Structure 1
């Protein structure tokens, strides 16, 4: 495990820029699956869904209602252990202009699903461990710290997800998830149940399962409002 964490630290060092110290109500890591099962349509759904959700009026209103009136976000893409690409480093969102700028970067630079070339497995444990280290880089104060996993498969590579989940929860982080609705070849069980039982955790943790591909952005928007507002949903919501 020591060698794995050393490699993770090396990946993090070359994949991110230093965090800007800002006091925010909520800090959110968007950890987005780009493994081999993510085709172009699914990649577009994730990338544009995050961009649209950030600019939604209800999300902007939820941010404005906070004590500081700001959140911090970072957006990275992951697959198997060591496969990571930072699309948006730590960025403060305090107004519609900030949200628009972040959404533009995600929409422009996010994964297009044209083919994963290496380490194309699905390591949710790697995504959680990297998210935890990203929080350690954030030097400002955040009232709440949330890891947002977007994925369409189960953990099939790297460390057991239970170990990574436990470390994040012990640090006081909440892990939420959005289970993509499309059937994924080789995934035999219901992803909503899998995420609820094995991935999410921490105060107010929950998993969102969109009703359809077209509902992904709406489900993500509702999810962000809950996370920013610190309301307490059911652990599994559709």
Structure 2
């Protein structure tokens, strides 16, 4: 999971872990939205502009998929994005190796708590310095497996990490997933939830979400005591 770069070369404005649901409730259509949505967002002009106008002009990303407690798969280990070329290379890995939603049987339940714990572990292992560290949860369900999600949230927030979420609508059901994420999942500085009216809005919503997260990074040389 570690880069070959020396630590000082790995410093970024923000380090983001994409924690993407691939439990049995994720069908091929939703899997494609998540996979292609992340790939498209990373290479969009808005994201590249947000990255390059920041203090260091680079972000770090990792992408993993999760389902039941203890079940996860790293698709993209920590990767530094400083240019469109970097973003295209990372997007290609996500698009090629990300979940397709096929063979859904036996994938397990939905452990959002384990997703937070795994995201937190990856942020612990980030090979450099980051002004902000963010776990991005993408899911269409509530925590129904593993530890209580609130405990995992508290541990991550105590480390200074931010947990954001994007709530994917579920066919045939209308649970207020965004409210659940707001109450039980997100946490840390400037945490927020993106609620989708329709799953087709995923790519655009994810792009706006990532622009916001990148733009929240600040100049680390700025005075912390300034009004």
Q: TM-score, normalised by structure 2?
A: 0.90
Deviation at 1:27, TM superposition (A): 0.1
**Pairing 1:171–2:159 present:** yes
The 1:184/1:72 distance shift into structure 2, 3 A limit, reads: farther
- The residue matched to 1:175 in structure 2 has which SS? strand
- The residue matched to 2:93 in structure 1 has which SS? helix
- Contact 1:39–1:115 (8 Å) recurs in 2: no
1:127-155 CA deviation, whole Å, 9 max, x = no partner?
Answer: 00011111111130000000000000000
Out of 9, 14, 30, the position equivalent to 2:18 is 30
Partner of 2:221: none
Partner of 2:98: 110
- The residue matched to 2:65 in structure 1 has which SS? strand
- Contact 2:51–2:82 (8 Å) recurs in 1: yes
- Contact 1:32–1:151 (8 Å) recurs in 2: yes
Q: TM-score, normalised by structure 1?
A: 0.86
Out of 178, 182, 197, the position equivalent to 1:196 is 182
Deviation at 1:116, TM superposition (A): 3.2
Q: CA RMSD in A?
A: 1.4
Partner of 1:18: 2
Deviation at 1:18, TM superposition (A): 2.0
- Contact 1:152–1:184 (8 Å) recurs in 2: no
The 1:78/1:203 distance shift into structure 2, 3 A limit, reads: same
Partner of 2:130: 142
Report the number of matched residues. 213
Q: Mark the runs of 5 or more structure 1 residues left unpaired by the alignment.
A: 1-16, 232-238
The 1:184/1:99 distance shift into structure 2, 3 A limit, reads: farther
Q: Mark the runs of 5 or more structure 2 residues left unpaired by the alignment.
A: 218-227
Partner of 2:72: 84
- The residue matched to 2:206 in structure 1 has which SS? helix
- The residue matched to 2:135 in structure 1 has which SS? strand
The CA distance in 1 between the partners of 2:11 and 2:158, in whole Å, is: 22
The CA distance in 1 between the partners of 2:84 and 2:197, in whole Å, is: 28
Deviation at 1:184, TM superposition (A): 6.3
Partner of 1:125: 113
Partner of 1:223: 209
- Contact 1:151–1:180 (8 Å) recurs in 2: yes
Deviation at 1:54, TM superposition (A): 0.4
The CA distance in 2 between the partners of 1:189 and 1:28, in whole Å, is: 27
The CA distance in 1 between the partners of 2:27 and 2:198, in whole Å, is: 16
Larger deviation: 144-153 or 118-127? 118-127
1:144-177 CA deviation, whole Å, 9 max, x = no partner?
Answer: 0000000000000000000000000000000000
- Contact 1:80–1:126 (8 Å) recurs in 2: yes
The 1:184/1:65 distance shift into structure 2, 3 A limit, reads: farther
